[in-house]
Amino acid sequence: MARSLTLSSFEAEDHVLFAIVMDDGTQLASDLSSQVGSRLFSLSAIAKPLQGEGLTSSIEVLLEAAIAAQRAVLVNAASERNGVFFEQELEKLDHWGEDRRSSLKMNLKDLDTEIKELKKQARAAANLPEKLKLEKLRKKHESERDQAWRDYDQAAKEIELAKDRLI
């Protein structure tokens, strides 16, 4: 008996499952059934109806049980592979998120340092035009810092959305 199995997950997988019972009722092991079954399917042959009894219900039950066991093994193996893949992708996403957060935090820290320096320079400025120029520059940097905070918050949301899509 042969059955096809298609597993759909991260990648589609197609399998042909074989179960073989000999004339005396002995069943071939699943790995041997796969080898013998695939070899039999590669031979030139003509399909003919069974003579005599045909498939008895006990033999059919044996064949279906063997197919079900092979199906369970393949589904479990695919599930394990998918679990490993999921963990790897989640780890990559975490690293990417941390890198992105670190980059944005460094940008925020740099802007804060520049703002402090501009405040210090404005206080030390000798004349009013120089103070006004430095204050305008400080305000510009503060606006950039505020935008950087919004970018940081947006990036955090994007990272969480990417994780949600993976899940």
Residue in the structure block whose two tokens are 């955090």: 156
| Same domain (yes/no): 114, 60 | no
**Are 99 and 80 members of one domain?**
no
93/148 same-domain check: yes
User: Are 94 and 130 part of one and the same domain?
Assistant: yes
Token digits for 89? 């992708």
Handedness of CA 34, 36, 39, 45 (dihedral sign): negative
Write out pLDDT tens, residues 27-76: 777 777 778 887 887 888 787 766 656 667 778 888 888 899 999 999 99
Determine the number of helices (DSSP H) and then strands (DSSP E) in the chain: 3, 2
20-38 residue pLDDT tens = 877 777 777 777 777 888 7
Domain span holding position 132:
86-166
Q: Letter for the amino acid at 67?
A: I
What is the secondary structure of 19-50 as a DSSP string?
A: --B-TTS-B--HHHHHHHHHHHHHS-----PP
Give SS3 for 110: helix
Regarding predicted confidence, which is higher, 13 or 26?
Answer: 13
State residue 114's pLDDT score: 92
pLDDT for 134: 92
Domains in the chain: how many in total?
2
pLDDT in tens, 94-135: 898 889 888 888 988 999 999 999 999 988 988 999 999 999
